[in-house]
Homo-oligomer: A and B are copies of this chain.
Amino acid sequence: MTDSSSERIAAALRAWIETAPPGARLPSSRALVAQFEASPVTVQKALRALTRQGLVETRPGVGAFVRESRVLQPHDYGWQTTALGAPPRRIPQLSAALRVVPNDVIALHSGYPDADLLPSRLVRSALARAARAETALSRSPAAGLPELQSWFAAELAAVTARGLIAPKASDVVVLPGSQSGLSTLFRTLVGAGEALLIESPSYWGAILAAAQVGVRLVPIPAGPHGPDPADVEQAFARTGARAFYAQPNYANPTGAQWPPDVARRVLDIVRDHHAFLIEDDWAHDFGVTTESSPLAAHDDTGHVVYLRSLTKSVSPSVRVAGLIARGPARDRILDDVQAQSMYVSPTLQAAALDVVSQPGWQTHRRTLRDQLARRRDLLVAAMAGHAPAAQLEAVPPGGLNLWFRLPDATDLRRLTADCEDAGVIVAAGDDWFPAEPTGRYLRLNYAGPHPAAFADGARVVGKALSRD
Contacts and interface: CB of A to CB of B under 8 A. Distances in A.
B338 A55 contact: no
Contact of A340 (B75, B183, B298): B183
A286 interface: no
B212 A339 contact: yes
Given A84-B189, A341-B177, A98 B142 contact: yes
A452 interface: no
Contact of A342 (B123, B177, B265): B177
Interface core residue of A163, A208, A269, A343 (most chain B CB under 10 Å) = A163
Interface string A202-229: 0001001101100000000000000001
A145 to B, nearest CB: 11
Given A2-B230, A82-B274, A136-B124, A338 B94 contact: yes
Interface in A148-207: 161-165, 176-177, 179-180, 183, 188-189, 191-192, 205
Interface stretch (A323-331, A383-391, A421-429): A323-331
Nearest to A336: B212
A141 B332 contact: no
Given A212-B336, A230-B2, A342 B98 contact: yes
How many copies of this kind of chain does the complex include? 2
A45 to B, nearest CB: 10
A408 B205 CA distance: 52
B84 A328 contact: yes
Nearest to A73: B165
A318 interface: yes
A347 B77 contact: no
Given A138-B317, A317-B137, A274 B79 contact: yes
Nearest to A6: B268
Contact of A328 (B80, B120, B164, B298): B80
B131 A339 contact: no
Interface in A93-133: 93-94, 98, 100, 112, 115, 118, 120, 123-125, 127-128, 130-132
Contact of A87 (B208, B229, B332): B332
Contacts of A130: 127, 131
Contact of A127 (B87, B125, B131): B131
A420 interface: no
Given A135-B317, A229-B2, A339 B211 contact: yes
A72 interface: yes
A49 B268 contact: yes
Interface in A260-284: 261, 264-265, 268-269, 271, 274-276
A418 interface: no
A63 interface: no
Contact of A124 (B84, B120, B124, B132): B132
A131 B318 CA distance: 11
Nearest to A269: B2
A200 to B, nearest CB: 19
Contacts of A269: 2
Contact of A75 (B177, B261, B326): B326
Contacts of A55: 161, 163
Given A2-B233, A115-B138, A342-B177, A11 B261 contact: yes
A41 interface: no
Interface in A46-82: 49, 52-55, 66-67, 69, 72, 74-75, 77, 79-82
A242 B179 CA distance: 29
Contact of A77 (B118, B275, B302): B302
28 contacts: A2-B229, A52-B271, A53-B299, A54-B164, A54-B301, A55-B161, A67-B163, A75-B302, A77-B302, A80-B302, A80-B329, A83-B189, A83-B275, A84-B328, A91-B339, A98-B139, A112-B139, A120-B137, A127-B127, A127-B131, A177-B341, A179-B339, A179-B342, A180-B180, A183-B340, A192-B192, A319-B345, A345-B345
Interface of A: 1-2, 7, 10-11, 17-18, 22, 49, 52-55, 66-67, 69, 72, 74-75, 77, 79-84, 87-88, 91, 93-94, 98, 100, 112, 115, 118, 120, 123-125, 127-128, 130-132, 135-139, 141-142, 161-165, 176-177, 179-180, 183, 188-189, 191-192, 205, 208-209, 211-212, 229-230, 233, 242, 261, 264-265, 268-269, 271, 274-276, 298-302, 315-319, 326-329, 332, 335-336, 338-348
